[in-house]
Amino acid sequence: MTDAKLLSTVPIFSELTSLELEELLQRTSKRSYHKHNMIFMEDEFGDTFFIISRGGVKITRVSEDGREVILAMLGEGEFFGEMSLLDGDTRSANVIALEDSEVLILKRRDFIALLEKYPKIAISLLSEMAQRLRKSDQQIESLSLSDAEHRIGITLLRLAEELGTIRRGVVEIESLPYQQDIANMAGTSRETVSRMLKVLEDKNFISRRGRSLSIHDYTQFKRAFS
């Protein structure tokens, strides 16, 4: 996909005409990162907004005892880096490439000018930030649960929403994150993830083939875990 085409698929830019998208593209620069590269670190000063044009990233914080906590995983067409541009504070989290990735970068000056010129972009941005806050609220709730099966169930629901495709009530997640990453989203260990996936399989909630996972009856799964 060309970068212009990619920008046209980014929901917050959906109101822009192709000419306006072209102008926006002129203001961006491109950067590539290898899998596992750190794009930036929490507490750094930040002056740029990022749009993922290829690949994916994870947004993380590190707990006092050195454990990685994954706040979100973002893929092609999604953005990050807006928070420190909006509140003037340092970066709120680490961002790490999950695979070989490319990003389009916009400087703070151009990002703010864009929001001022197109209030609809600012409203879409608020809407996306509200959705992210809802997901974080769910994650906080799930982390407070002691029952590992529920924590993994809630994490799978989130992955289904973000990565899955639904057909006749069955959700397919083509490329499930690594078990260690699922563990870091759910606040548990890799071994527990492995055990709980097996439990969910035995209960016929899910099945797995290689890195893909299907949830057999999404409505029933949501009823059981949300």
Q: How many residues bind ligand CMP (CB under 6 A)?
A: 15
Kindly state whether residue 187 participates in binding ligand CMP, applying the rule CB under 6 A. no
Cβ-proximal residues to 157 (8 Å cutoff; 6+ apart), any chain: 221, 222, 225, 226
Instruction: Decide whether 56 or 200 has the Cβ nearer to ligand CMP.
Output: 56
Instruction: Decide whether 71 or 143 has the Cβ nearer to ligand CMP.
Output: 71
What residue has token string 């009856």? 217
Give the dihedral sign, CA 87/93/99/100: positive
Kindly state whether residue 80 participates in binding ligand CMP, applying the rule CB under 6 A. yes
Q: Are 62 and 40 in contact (CB under 8 A)?
A: no
Shortest gap between Cβ of 61 and ligand CMP (angstroms)?
A: 8
Contacts with ligand CMP in 125-164 (CB under 6 A)? 132, 136
Applying CB under 6 A, the span of 27-35, 83-91, 103-111, 195-203 interacting with ligand CMP comes to 83-91
Name which position in 83, 112, 148, 170 contacts ligand CMP (CB under 6 A). Answer: 83
How many whole angstroms separate alpha carbon 203 and alpha carbon 177? 22
Instruction: Decide whether 140 or 166 has the Cβ nearer to ligand CMP.
Output: 140
Name which position in 82, 142, 157, 200 contacts ligand CMP (CB under 6 A). Answer: 82
Residue 10: which region, alpha, beta or left (left: phi > 0; alpha: psi -120 to 50)? beta
> Reduced to 3 states, what is the DSSP secondary structure of residue 166?
strand
Shortest gap between Cβ of 71 and ligand CMP (angstroms)?
A: 4
How many whole angstroms separate alpha carbon 160 and alpha carbon 137? 17
Instruction: Decide whether 71 or 170 has the Cβ nearer to ligand CMP.
Output: 71
Contacts with ligand CMP in 33-72 (CB under 6 A)? 46, 59, 71-72
Shortest gap between Cβ of 191 and ligand CMP (angstroms)?
A: 26
**Site for ligand CMP, rule CB under 6 A:** 46, 59, 71-72, 80-84, 91-93, 95, 132, 136
